[in-house]
Amino acid sequence: MLKKKGVLIITILAAVLIFVTVVAESTYDTLYSYLKMSSDVAYRIKSRYVDEIDSKTLIDSGIRGMLDILDPFSEYLEAKDYDLLQEMTSGKYSGLGMSIMQKEGVIIIVAPMEGTPAYRMGLRAGDKILKINGKSTTGMSTSEASSLMRGPAGTTVTLTIGRESVEEPLEYTIERAVIEIKTVPFYGAFEKNGQKLGYVRLARFGEEANAELDAAFTDLLKQNVKGIIFDLRANGGGLLDQAVKVSNYFLAKGSEVTSTKGRTMDQDRTLFANNDPLIPPDLPVVVLVNEMSASASEIVAGAVQDWDRAVIIGNTTFGKGLVQQVYPLGQDAALKLTTAKWYVPSGRCIQKDIRSTRHPESLIDSTLADSMTFDTTSAKGRSNKSKEVYHTKGGRIVYGGGGVVPDVVVEDARLNALELNLERLSMFFDFAVKYANENPKTPEDFEVTPQLIDQFRQYLKDKKFSYKSELELDLEKLEKTIIEQKKEAEYAKALADIRAQIEIDKEQQFNQSLDYISRSIKRDILTNLYGEKAVYRQIMLKKDPYIDKAVEILTSPKEYSAILEGGARR
């Protein structure tokens, strides 16, 4: 009986879909016949396949099959994905307010967010969540742990915590609250080269972006800053209307921000700055971007570049010039469908070629309304020869397709094998947890001394940290070939000498990476003791190549003007 009922459900769904789609229009006759074929296939699978197939699974698979031929940004969102999208867009959820990770089967707190229940109850970075409401977290995924800790505001959850230097587990019963994820995690004024400058970091284009930026820019202007650094690095986008509002902080009233073009007339529209800009027209502005700046970030960067309102610094952006619209499918699902392309004022679309990327090898979920793959090719590595040429308001050459190319390029340093593995194995994080527990009164402006580096070296030895350098990996391939050819004896001494030299090289690599190691140790100790804002104050505003270049240009009116008046990209 249940089987017949399942077949009936599928047949009814197919019939409704057919009725709604074709609406007796002859132009949809072909679609009608294919939909009928699809319903016949679904019916046969449900009623005749050797194993019983769940109706929802069957329908979901059919929907995903249709989307497979579209671009990678068109998605079918099931309940949990739809909830996540809404959460990322609104910037709110009900829970405890902390980021977590899984390491060696254990759920570990990365950082409690300031002002949240987790923060107020004294949970710390590095704490191990052993149980949630009595349920062991051993082997639990971070998504499952997050789901258990979330719930309606006002309800409680009990966590059993393991802490460094505390023998017995600690138990916390914490009341959930509405957590607001800041779109502006940090802003502040700082002095360099004898001038006071303002820095604002925008993490995503959520519903609160406009309000938070309004407060940040207003405060900085009251402090009489002489230039603004607007950081959109790793900002994967979000809401289109927020991108327009953010652009309006810099562009004159009535200026075009972006236009969209789709298959239907309702998708063809042009969006303008509706208000006078909050940032004075004569105040210099630099916008920072990189290869992970996408979508709404590119609208803002492209618009201010086309109007010659700001200098763009960094790497070529991701290249996502597509607009998605979300169509709810009942209460528990939605369709996120690409409906248009967007263009910046010069007329260029910065969409890169996305053919054959429906199933990307790596997907970045950046707590934003968009999910996307990222091409890490640098700005210098992308040729402009085949791109369409456009011009800014002042006549500068800009290019369409493949992202927003910055006016000034800053190359990201590539991590070597040692640095990658120290990060991958959380050695900086683990050391910082231990150090912070032993030295809780470390001042925020502390420096990483040679003695602290020695402590870190010893910590790595105690933890038996090891990694394989690129030379070691190449040597392993060579050894395999030698073994296959049965020439081990002939090459034994040479291989031993190479291994010995590799160990010497690895020791030298540590010394060559001291700047990165010192910065990372400081970063994680500051995060543990003082939170993320301390990292901005003590590291980024003092020693960041992007910000350093921005300061150089903002404090040199001649150089700033030369770039915006048509100076060649460097």
Instruction: Indicate which residues carry an active-site annotation.
Output: 295, 306, 320
DSSP 368: S
Distance CA 2, CA 4 (A): 5
Query: How many CB atoms neighbour CB 412 within 10 A?
Result: 15
Query: How many CB atoms neighbour CB 534 within 10 A?
Result: 19
Burial 55-85 (b: 16+ CB within 10 A, else e): beebbeebeeeebeeebbbbbbbeeeebebb
Pairing of strands 322-329, 333-343: antiparallel
User: For the purposes of burial, counting CB atoms within 10 Å of the CB of 165, is it exposed (0-12), middle (13-18) or buried (19 or more)?
Assistant: exposed
Distance CA 199, CA 92 (A): 25
Distance CA 317, CA 378 (A): 9
**3-class secondary structure, 173:** strand
If residue 3 lies in a helix (H) or strand (E), which one and from where to where?
Answer: helix 2-22
DSSP 205: B
H-only helix segments in 439-556: 450-462, 470-484, 488-512, 514-530, 532-535, 545-554
User: For the purposes of burial, counting CB atoms within 10 Å of the CB of 173, is it exposed (0-12), middle (13-18) or buried (19 or more)?
Assistant: exposed
The answer to whether residues 304 and 287 touch, using CB atoms and an 8 Å cutoff, is: yes
Burial 456-469 (b: 16+ CB within 10 A, else e): beeebeeeeeebeb
Distance CA 201, CA 229 (A): 8
Query: How many CB atoms neighbour CB 302 within 10 A?
Result: 30
Sign of CA dihedral 449, 452, 458, 463: negative
Distance CA 527, CA 433 (A): 10
- Based on C-alpha coordinates, what's the Rg of the chain? 27
